[in-house]
A and B are shown apart, each in its own frame.
Chain A
Amino acid sequence: MRRFNHFNASTMENAVSLLNESEGPAYVIAGGSDLMGCLKDNLWIEAPERVVNLKTIPGLKYILVEDGDLHLGALATLTEIAESDTVKLQWPGLAEAARRTASPLLRNMGTIAGNICQENRCWYFRYPDKIGGRIDCVRKGGKRCLAVPGDHRFHSIFGAVNKCIAVNPSDTAPALVVLDATVKTTKREIPIDEFFTAEMGAQSTVLDRDEIVTEIVVPAPQAGPNSAFRKIAYRKSIDFALVNCAAALVIRDGKVESARICLNAVYNNPRRCEASEELLKGRELTEELAQEAGRLAVAEAKPLLQNGFKVQMAKTIVSDTLMDCI
């Protein structure tokens, strides 16, 4: 790892000014499970000049329910969310997503805000500097994506964004998308549907370089806790998802009033399955309907040579996750 200057922030304002005062690139560190990997591999073209520690800011590690809405402090760890009885009861999709992220050791470190802000895991993007030199892929300002002609078995099945086919690897992201969360930052409040973007270079979110997530607010479930999360990965614990899916339904009188379904690890950003959501509206959820929703979810899939298997996985996981909701 290269040297950098390390600062402990005392407040959020202090953290923002520490970022702004930096002469070179500056990064914030909370849990550190994503950032440490990036630092160790010397991932970025310009090495970070400073790292600002958010763990020294008091009062950011909370899981609260206020007026029925769930408030997650930026430093709430994935373990705390996964083990919270309130979250398990009211927002089971989110609790399960947190429980299935990485390994117990990393969940003890990793925070919810960090999990939705993590960099992608494309192995060309993440190629470590120490073995033959870093690869400057299209996401890092290079000319081409090496995954398209190379090994893309874990990459996007819904096409590219700015030539890049890396997927968003977060497990909690689809859960927060279907639960219609709001991300509060030091500058603004961002609806979760607008939060993720692979269109701005290396980063995976719309955050500015001096903007920090402070809180995530998840609204109360409208009619019962009908949300669920599923993940397919090589190993049950630790591995990043091949495909994951979250769904949240509003069910009244046995019929689906509205539905939100989101696949992740299939595209650069978490991908809502809008056609499937439309299909469910006003109908009773049955096994056949869930399967039809699964088929619709992958109707527009454009798999590459090596990742056709992910289409079948996405189709199945959508119908299975929907059935888990009831």
Chain B
Amino acid sequence: MNENRKQLIHLTVNGEVQSVAVESHWTLSRVLRNDCGHTGLKEACGEGACGACTVLIDGVAVPSCMVLAVEQEGKSIETVEGLSKNGVLHPIQEAWLEEYGAQCGFCSPGMIMSTKALLAKNPDPTEDEIKEALGGNICICNNYEHIINAVRSAAKKMREKA
């Protein structure tokens, strides 16, 4: 049963190709945190219910604790670390700071990645659309008002830039 214990997979994480040897039962969140050094994403519930481990796989937001790393061969993965460029924050991150989107900050990496996926699809979301899109991300500090304001402000910043 333990033949071929480790397999080499190739991931493009935030634009950088990485080769990692993984075991078949390792989740993507574990590999990203332990082997790729991307500790921005957090693993909290481990069952896909809280969204703290949200990353974008080929542009789609998924909880990385619920996907097997071996199945991500050749995929392009985006984590919160990939947002700022050359020390300049991404508009979503700026909005998060200005609107106090984070209290303890544990949910922020996931919230921000879900926001990125939402704004790529819908540059001007209504409050209901924001609530629906962030429905899979839980904030234990109950900071939702500020998070929604941050998403709105981020959307505005990104529209102005574009």
Other-chain residue from B7, B63, B70 in contact with A105 (beta carbon distance below 8 A)? B63
The residue on A at minimum CB distance from B5 is: A3
Question: B24 to A105, Cβ gap below 8 A?
Answer: no
Segment touching A, from B41-49, B77-85, B97-105 = B41-49
Complex interface residues of chain A between 87 and 138 (CB less than 8 A to chain B)? 102-106, 108-109
**With contacts A5-B4, A6-B68 known, is A106 near B24, CB below 8 A?**
no
The residue on B at minimum CB distance from A235 is: B135
Give the A interface residue count (CB, 8 A). Answer: 29
Question: B132 to A6, Cβ gap below 8 A?
Answer: no
A292 at the A/B interface (Cβ < 8 Å)? no
Question: B47 to A37, Cβ gap below 8 A?
Answer: yes
Question: A237 to B132, Cβ gap below 8 A?
Answer: yes
Within the assembled complex, what's the spacing in Å between the Cα atoms of A109 and B54?
12
Question: B135 to A33, Cβ gap below 8 A?
Answer: no
Other-chain residue from A32, A103, A105, A108 in contact with B68 (beta carbon distance below 8 A)? A32
Question: B25 to A2, Cβ gap below 8 A?
Answer: yes
A4 at the A/B interface (Cβ < 8 Å)? yes
Question: A36 to B66, Cβ gap below 8 A?
Answer: yes
Question: B63 to A3, Cβ gap below 8 A?
Answer: no
Within the assembled complex, what's the spacing in Å between the Cα atoms of A242 and B134?
22
Other-chain residue from B1, B46, B136 in contact with A103 (beta carbon distance below 8 A)? B136
A236 at the A/B interface (Cβ < 8 Å)? yes
Query: How many A-B residue pairs lie within 8 Å, measured between CB atoms?
Result: 92
Within the assembled complex, what's the spacing in Å between the Cα atoms of A236 and B160?
33
Question: A29 to B136, Cβ gap below 8 A?
Answer: no
**Residues in A whose Cβ lies below 8 Å from that of B54:** 105
Question: A55 to B71, Cβ gap below 8 A?
Answer: yes
A232 at the A/B interface (Cβ < 8 Å)? no
Per-position binary interface string of chain A over residues 237-279, scored 1 when its CB falls under 8 Å from any chain B CB and 0 otherwise: 1100000000000000000000000000000000000000000
**Residues in A whose Cβ lies below 8 Å from that of B7:** 6
Question: B71 to A36, Cβ gap below 8 A?
Answer: no
B20 at the A/B interface (Cβ < 8 Å)? no
Question: B24 to A6, Cβ gap below 8 A?
Answer: yes
The residue on A at minimum CB distance from B67 is: A32
Within the assembled complex, what's the spacing in Å between the Cα atoms of A49 and B24?
11
**With contacts A3-B1, A40-B46, A106-B63 known, is A238 near B68, CB below 8 A?**
no
Apart from A5-B3, A39-B25, A106-B63: 6 A-B pairs, beta carbons within 8 A: A1-B25, A4-B25, A6-B25, A36-B47, A108-B60, A108-B61
Instruction: Enumerate 7 A-B pairs (CB-CB under 8 Å) in ascending A order.
Output: A32-B67, A37-B47, A104-B134, A105-B136, A109-B66, A237-B135, A237-B136
Q: Please give me the 3 A-B residue pairs with the lowest Cβ-Cβ distance, nearest first.
A: A237-B135, A103-B136, A6-B24
A contact residues vs B (CB 8 Å cutoff): 1-6, 8, 24, 29, 32-33, 36-37, 39-40, 49, 51, 53, 55, 102-106, 108-109, 236-238
B contact residues vs A (CB 8 Å cutoff): 1-5, 7, 23-25, 27, 46-49, 51, 54, 60-63, 66-68, 70-71, 114, 132-137
